[in-house]
């Protein structure tokens, strides 16, 4: 149990998926200009990432390892994630239409979110057990949401200030992300 | 015709150089540029996948039904990434270890899928080849430059050899995660400054 709690802390704060592992930067910069879109993206990612971590684990353990097909990992993971996103989209549309409308465009975009694929690969490289895979993928997803929403809050403030022209948009966004990353860097000593 | 092909090639080098002008494919850019060597290695791997997938997508553009095109593109890209992964493991093992999870992650690099969808699916073989080569070289050079800045400042070396002598106190911030974001942001700013003139 203690191990799992440590894993949660390490995945959310110490090894934050965006700010310490450099994954999922495109949606991080792309959807953080407004708080609303940031919350939408964060929710969609939490949902899909937690599922994807478990399903790719199952795929690897039950299919790839049993038949000695480990070299097909990249191809099979990306296919599993793409079809998972498609399936989640159809499922939500039928069962929870309100959530489907709320997530909107962000759901299909997740297929190319490298955070999802990256977590699948991290879990596979570390040879986690099922429980560890479940806990870590959920925790990574929460970390993603946390970083994205914090960053969107900071960026909304920056929009009010006067930024020199060459620094505008993505440039000041990256520098801000650097400062935020520095804040998360302080957690390094915790675990 | 010859002129337009050279234009397709050149646009990837400056006018639309991937990580800066398009702000796509940032993850590998930030993650593997701790040293020049890693940056260039990642760049060349991406270049290979980009050129091959552009060629194959362009060759098959009339066969692939438009409804399932994205899935087909992803499978084509994933196949080439697997080839790169296995080749790198066999021939450049230290680089394979240094790049870590970012080799399989070339699959989800938005630049490659973006070029397949925006360019190769609509253009002929030679033009797609030129486009892939230009974009790939632009990407490799950007990674190399960013890697050079971070390695020189962060560890005081260039390609592994010390350049400032033993008295230099390395600016370790630059090779950690925060430094990556700040360095890329400032480089983007410099590109904007130069581009304005």
**Helices assigned H by DSSP within B12-164:** 26-31, 36-59, 69-91, 93-99, 110-115, 125-155
| pLDDT per residue rounded down to tens, chain A (191 residues) | 788 888 888 888 888 888 888 888 878 887 888 888 888 888 888 888 888 999 999 999 998 888 888 888 888 988 888 888 888 888 888 888 887 787 767 777 777 678 888 899 999 988 899 999 999 999 999 999 999 999 999 998 888 888 888 787 788 888 899 999 988 888 887 76
Indicate if the pLDDT at residue B196 is higher than 80.
no
Q: Which residue has the higher pLDDT, B133 or B69?
A: B133
What is the complex's ipTM, to 2 decimals? 0.82
Three-class secondary structure of residue A150 per DSSP: helix
**A74 contact residues in B (CB cutoff 8 A):** 78, 81-82, 85, 104, 107
Say what the pLDDT of residue B23 is: 67
| Cβ contact, residue pair B182, A174, below 8 Å | yes
Is the CB of residue A140 less than 8 Å from the CB of residue B101? no
**How many domains does chain B fold into?**
1
Cβ pair A171:B71 closer than 8 A: no
CB contact under 8 A, A166 and B31: no
Rounded CA gap, B121 and B143, in Å? Answer: 26
Residues of B in contact with A24 (CB under 8 A): 27
- Which DSSP letter does residue A120 get? H
The domain of B17 spans: 5-196
- Best CA proximity match to A32, nearest among A168, A147, A189: A147
Contact indicator for B58, B159 with CB cutoff of 8 Å: no
Across all residues in chain B, what is the average pLDDT?
85
> If you compute the radius of gyration of chain A from its CA atoms, what whole number of angstroms results?
17
Looking at chain B, which residue has its C-alpha nearest residue A167?
B189
Going by the DSSP 8-state scheme, the letter that residue B167 receives in this structure is T
Kindly state whether A182 is in contact with chain B, defined as any CB-CB distance less than 8 angstroms.
Answer: yes
Highest mean pLDDT among A168-172, B129-133, B193-197: B129-133
Q: Which residues of A touch B82 (CB under 8 A)?
A: 71-72, 74-75
Distance from CA of A167 to the nearest CA of B (A): 5
Contacts of A26 in chain B (CB under 8 A): 23-27, 110
Residue from B179, B189, B190 to probe the interface with A (highest A Cβ count within 10 Å): B189
Q: Determine which helix (DSSP H) or strand (DSSP E) holds B162, and give its type and residue range.
A: strand B161-162
> What's residue A191's pLDDT?
65
């Amino acid at each position: 149990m203690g191990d799992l709690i440590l894993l949660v802390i390490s995945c959310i704060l110490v090894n934050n998926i965006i700010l310490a592992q450099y994954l999922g930067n495109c949606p991080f910069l792309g959807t953080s200009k407004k708080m609303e879109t940031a919350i939408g993206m964060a929710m969609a990612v939490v949902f899909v990432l937690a599922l994807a971590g478990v399903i790719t684990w199952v795929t690897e353990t039950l299919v790839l390892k049993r038949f000695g097909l480990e070299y097909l990992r990249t191809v099979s993971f990306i296919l599993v994630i793409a079809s998972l996103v498609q399936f989640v989209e159809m499922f939500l549309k039928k069962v929870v239409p309100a959530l489907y409308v709320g997530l909107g465009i962000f759901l299909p975009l997740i297929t190319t979110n490298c955070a999802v694929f990256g977590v699948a690969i991290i879990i596979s490289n570390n040879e986690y057990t099922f429980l560890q895979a479940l806990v870590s993928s959920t925790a990574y997803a929460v970390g993603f949401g946390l970083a994205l929403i914090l960053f969107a809050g900071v960026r909304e403030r920056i929009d009010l200030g006067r930024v020199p022209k060459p620094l505008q948009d993505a440039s000041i966004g990256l520098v801000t992300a650097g400062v935020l990353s520095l804040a998360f860097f302080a957690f390094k000593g915790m675990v | 015709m010859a002129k337009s092909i050279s234009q397709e090639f050149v646009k990837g080098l400056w006018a639309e150089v991937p990580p800066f002008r398009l702000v796509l494919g940032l993850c590998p850019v930030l993650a593997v540029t701790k040293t020049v060597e890693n940056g260039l290695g990642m760049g060349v791997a991406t270049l290979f996948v980009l050129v091959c997938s552009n060629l194959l997508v362009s060759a098959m553009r009339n066969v692939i039904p438009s409804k399932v095109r994205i899935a087909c593109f992803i499978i084509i890209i994933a196949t080439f990434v697997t080839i790169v992964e296995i080749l790198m493991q066999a021939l450049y093992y230290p680089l394979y270890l240094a790049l870590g999870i970012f080799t399989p992650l070339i699959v989800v690099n938005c630049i490659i899928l973006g070029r397949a969808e925006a360019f190769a699916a609509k253009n002929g073989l030679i033009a797609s080849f030129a486009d892939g080569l230009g974009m790939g070289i632009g990407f490799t050079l950007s990674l190399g430059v960013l890697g050079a800045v971070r390695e020189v400042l962060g560890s005081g070396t260039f390609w592994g050899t010390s350049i400032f002598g033993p008295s230099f106190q390395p600016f370790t911030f630059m090779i950690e995660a925060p430094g990556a974001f700040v360095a890329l942001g400032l480089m983007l700013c410099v590109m904007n400054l130069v581009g304005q003139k």
